[in-house]
Structure 1
Amino acid sequence: MVIEAEGLTKMYPNQRGIRDVGFQVRRGDIYGFLGPNGAGKTTVMKIMVNLCRADRGKVRLFGCDIAADYEKAMRRVGVLIERPEAYNDFSAYRNLEMVLRYYPELRKSRIDEALELVGLGGFKHEKVGRYSLGMKQRLGLASALLSKPELLILDEPTNGLDIEGMVDMRELIVRLAREEQMTFFISSHLIHEMELICNRVGMIYNGKLVREGLMSELVSEQHPTLEHYFVALAREERRERAHVRL
């Protein structure tokens, strides 16, 4: 198993957070982690890579506990969470040169490979400060891909991309999963985008994982699209919460 999350709970002073979230991701999965803004997606992902400590629960990546053995757990993982950071006064190439220092086993040619993969090869010597939001998102993905990870954890990877950029991102993810046997864990609130590429999904709402399963199981005659299914689940959750308050 590539990812195993068990009983993840993290509550903030405002009483928002996540409660008892658990799921598994298998090798080769493109796993969509879906939910509205504020549902808890980023909190779960930060716990997964030890940027945030859970109140309870545990995460294992490739069988290694992320809290107990961080370096071993993260050795084969690429991450892009929230806004990608870069030095605006440096070029994309120079930014990736600095990242490459953490991977002495990689050749410098890997920088060009990563930039070409995300469509920035022709802009590699341009200062990042001149980049659009979408271009910065692509650079963040190139940085996550630099080490040739076996697992890529992406938080809203299509954020800031135009329609063509979204299509390019989808095609890249599908190609890497197919040709490189890369596993993806992708959060998004854009359900239609995820429906086009994911084979498995987990749906989070108000900090609670309300459904998990194969895409083929969730989309049916009763729920012809994933969006239709999620809206039905959300309405059911709201009714249950209203009944509890009564």
Structure 2
Amino acid sequence: MNGDTVLDIQGVTKTYRNKRGVENIALRVEKGEVYGFFGPNGAGKTTVMKIATGLIRADRGRVLLFGHDVAERYEDAMRQVGVMIERAEAFEYMSGYRNLELAARLYPELPRSRIDEALELVGLGANKKEKVGHYSLGMKQRLGIASAILSKPKLLILDEPTNGLDIEGMIEMRELIRSLAREEGITFFLSSHLLSEMETVCSRIGIVHNGKLIQERSMAELGEQSGQSLESYFVERIRAERGAGGHEIAQGMHH
């Protein structure tokens, strides 16, 4: 593992009782990347993210975060990692600020000023005294990210951060990811089933289908392939994977 590898997933396999799961997933996320983990719903993205953050255990394989094995040295591995998996949870009857105050208890050495800083970074500075129950879905997602960046992580793992957002909320989330990557120097590992998301924010993409990682490409490489869009590239890859019958999988991959 080189010094710039932030996340190293090595041959991870997990099979559930219904026989679904992921098989032999191997990928690396390098420092400074925005790595997009892309595939249809049910492809295995959340499973990989839960294994990567120690929420569930793999049957085989291992995950290193900053060189530490998540299963063996969880606290060391997660020290520089912020996570938002599935829906961002918050106490609706409390203000955004109070929610972050509670989250900050996990980091006793954190200066109080970081709460305001995190809220400003995600664009919620003006709404910090409002009850979260009055927030829009996009604001709740941004609060989830504020919570995830409280401890100044070097890596953010976000599962479907734009899920359920309207167009405006999605654009705001994309801009937020870009600005955090640029201004805070955060590396991202994020999942989506929407091609439009991946194309605009990611530097590299891994395509997962039926629990397998079937392709990895940098956005620069994709651009060089005769100007092919990610969508046509994806459909091509899926068809190659399944034989000629792979068209239906592309439905619902974009707005």
* TM-score (ref. length: structure 2): 0.90
Output one character per residue of 1:140-185: Cα deviation in whole Å (capped at 9) or x when no partner.
1110011111000011111232222222222222222223221000
Aligned to 1:3: 7
Q: CA deviation at 1:240?
A: 8.1
Aligned to 1:174: 178
User: 2 CA distance for matches of 1:105 and 1:37?
Assistant: 39
Aligned to 2:33: 29
Output one character per residue of 1:168-224: Cα deviation in whole Å (capped at 9) or x when no partner.
222222222223221000100111211111111100001000001211123344561
* TM-score (ref. length: structure 1): 0.93
Contact 1:77 1:151 in 2 (8 A): yes
Aligned to 1:89: 93
* Aligned partner of 1:65 among 65, 69, 78: 69
Long gaps (5+) in structure 1: none
Change (3 A) 1:213 1:120: same
User: 2 CA distance for matches of 1:6 and 1:84?
Assistant: 28
User: 1 CA distance for matches of 2:10 and 2:244?
Assistant: 24
User: 2 CA distance for matches of 1:133 and 1:155?
Assistant: 15
Pairwise mapping of residues 1-246 of structure 1 onto structure 2 (< 5 A)?
1-222=5-226, 224-239=228-243
Give runs of ≥4 in structure 1 deviating > 4 Å.
none
User: 1 CA distance for matches of 2:27 and 2:244?
Assistant: 23
Residue 203 of structure 1 aligns to a residue in which SS? strand
User: 2 CA distance for matches of 1:105 and 1:167?
Assistant: 34
User: 1 CA distance for matches of 2:156 and 2:43?
Assistant: 21
Change (3 A) 1:74 1:211: same
CA-atom RMSD, angstroms? 1.6
User: 2 CA distance for matches of 1:20 and 1:84?
Assistant: 29
One-letter amino acid of the counterpart of residue 184, structure 2: E
Q: CA deviation at 1:131?
A: 2.1
Q: Percent identity?
A: 63
One-letter amino acid of the counterpart of residue 13, structure 1: R
Q: CA deviation at 1:86?
A: 1.0
Long gaps (5+) in structure 2: 247-255
